[in-house]
Amino acid sequence: MKIGVFDSGLGGLVIAKALMQALPQYDYIYYGDTEHVPYGEKTPGRILAYTLDAMRFLINQKCGLIIIACNTATAITLRYLQKRFCPKEAQNVKILGVIIPTVEEALKKGEKRIGVVGTPTTIRSDIYGVELRKISPQVEVVSLATPRLVPAIEANDFTEAKRAINEYAQTFQNLPALILGCTHYPLVKDLFQEALPETRLVCQDDLMGKKLADYLKRHTEIETNLSRKATRQFFVSKMSKSYTQVAQKLFPDIQLEKK
Ligand code: DGL
Q: 71 CB less than 6 Å from ligand 1? A: yes
Nearest Cα residue to atom 1 of ligand 1: 70
For 177, other C-beta atoms within 10 Å of its C-beta total: 23
Establish whether domains 2-98+206-258 and 100-204 are of one fold. yes
**How much is the pLDDT for 156?**
82
For 112, other C-beta atoms within 10 Å of its C-beta total: 10
**How much is the pLDDT for 159?**
97
Q: Which residues are catalytic?
A: 70, 182
What is the C-alpha to C-alpha distance for residues 177 and 114, in angstroms, rounded to an integer? 5
Q: In this structure, what DSSP letter does residue 168 have?
A: H
Q: 204 CB less than 6 Å from ligand 1? A: no
Is there a contact between 161 and 191 (Cβ–Cβ < 8 Å)?
A: yes
Q: Where are the domains of the chain?
A: 2-98+206-258, 100-204
Is there a contact between 62 and 111 (Cβ–Cβ < 8 Å)?
A: no
For 137, other C-beta atoms within 10 Å of its C-beta total: 7
Å from CA of 42 to ligand 1 middle: 10
Q: 37 CB less than 6 Å from ligand 1? A: yes
Å from CA of 48 to ligand 1 middle: 14
Asked: is 100-204 a CATH 3.40.50.1860 domain? The reply is: yes
Q: What's the 3-state SS for 207-236?
A: HHHHHHHHHHHHCHHHHCCCCCCCCEEEEE
- Among 8, 35, 117, name the best residue to mutate to test ligand 1's pocket (greatest count of ligand atoms within 8 A of Cβ): 8
Q: 70 CB less than 6 Å from ligand 1? A: yes
Q: 182 CB less than 6 Å from ligand 1? A: yes
Report the interhelical angle of 71-80 vs 99-106 (nearest 10°).
110
Q: In 3-state terms, what secondary structure has residue 77?
A: helix
Residues 6+ away with beta carbon under 8 Å from 194: none
pTM above 0.85, yes or no: yes
Q: 186 CB less than 6 Å from ligand 1? A: no
Maximum Cα interatomic distance, the chain, rounded to a whole number of Å? 48
What is the C-alpha to C-alpha distance for residues 190 and 158, in angstroms, rounded to an integer? 11
Closest CA to 153 of 182, 114, 112: 182
**How much is the pLDDT for 13?**
96
- Among 183, 202, 243, name the best residue to mutate to test ligand 1's pocket (greatest count of ligand atoms within 8 A of Cβ): 183
Atom of ligand 1 nearest to the CA of 72: 10
Q: 153 CB less than 6 Å from ligand 1? A: no
Architecture of domain 2-98+206-258: 3-Layer(aba) Sandwich (3.40)
Residues 6+ away with beta carbon under 8 Å from 118: 40, 71, 72, 75, 128, 143, 145, 146, 179, 181, 182
pLDDT tens across the length of the chain (259 residues) = 999 999 999 999 999 999 999 999 999 999 999 999 999 989 999 999 999 999 999 999 999 999 999 999 999 999 999 999 999 999 999 999 999 999 999 999 999 999 999 999 999 999 999 999 999 999 999 999 999 999 998 888 999 999 999 999 999 999 999 999 999 999 999 999 999 999 999 999 999 999 999 999 999 999 999 999 999 999 999 999 888 988 998 999 999 999 9
Reading phi first (left if > 0) and then psi (alpha if -120 to 50, else beta), residue 38 is in beta
Atom of ligand 1 nearest to the CA of 150: 6
